[in-house]
Amino acid sequence: MRTIDFSPLYRSAIGFDRLAHLIENANQGNNNTNQGYPPYNIEQLSENDYRITLAVAGFDRSEIEITSHQNTLLVKGTKESSPKEQSNYLYQGIAERGFERKYQLADYVTVQAADLVNGLLHIDLKRELPEAMKPRTINIGSSDDRLAN
């Protein structure tokens, strides 16, 4: 796998270091062998509403922890190892292991709700820009108006 050198970006762009770190972390995440578990979808419901859906069959609400801190969303599933009878599986396709998934959230994206329905964990997200960040129209005056004040 080819590595990308971001040092020119650090030298010539101010304030884009977070973006470069996100790209580096995403690139490193591709080497993780557990990336496919549990499977998930990310969908855009509207311009500012998103939903992450994870397939967490076999997990109870008490075994899933969702944490949002700064711009990172962490979803962690912990399976308690219970003393079971030794089963003689002919095929075992249902994973019974814990997981940890991290998602980088853009600025002003917050978690609104989470629901576990039929083995699918739905996490609803919303981007809410502060008023100061929203576009505004600037009225054009004349220099005569400024001199009169």
Q: What is the mean pLDDT of the chain?
A: 81
Mean pLDDT of 11-24: 62
Does the structure show a pLDDT above 80 at 147?
Answer: no
Q: What is the pLDDT of residue 32?
A: 47
Mean pLDDT of 117-142: 89
pLDDT band at residue 133 under the 50/70/90 scheme: confident
Q: What is the DSSP string of 110-123?
A: EEEEEEEETTEEEE
Euclidean distance between CA atoms 75 and 34, whole angstroms: 14
Does the structure show a pLDDT above 90 at 58?
Answer: no
Mean pLDDT of 53-77: 94
Q: What is the pLDDT of residue 21?
A: 64
Closest CA to 52 of 43, 61, 65, 39: 43
pLDDT tens, residue by residue, 74-129? 999 998 766 566 678 888 887 778 999 999 898 889 999 999 999 999 999 999 88
Closest CA to 58 of 72, 41, 73, 78: 78
Contact 86, 9 (CB under 8 A): no
> Is domain 39-82+93-133 given the CATH code 2.60.40.790 in the classification?
yes
Residue ranges of domains in the chain: 1-31, 39-82+93-133
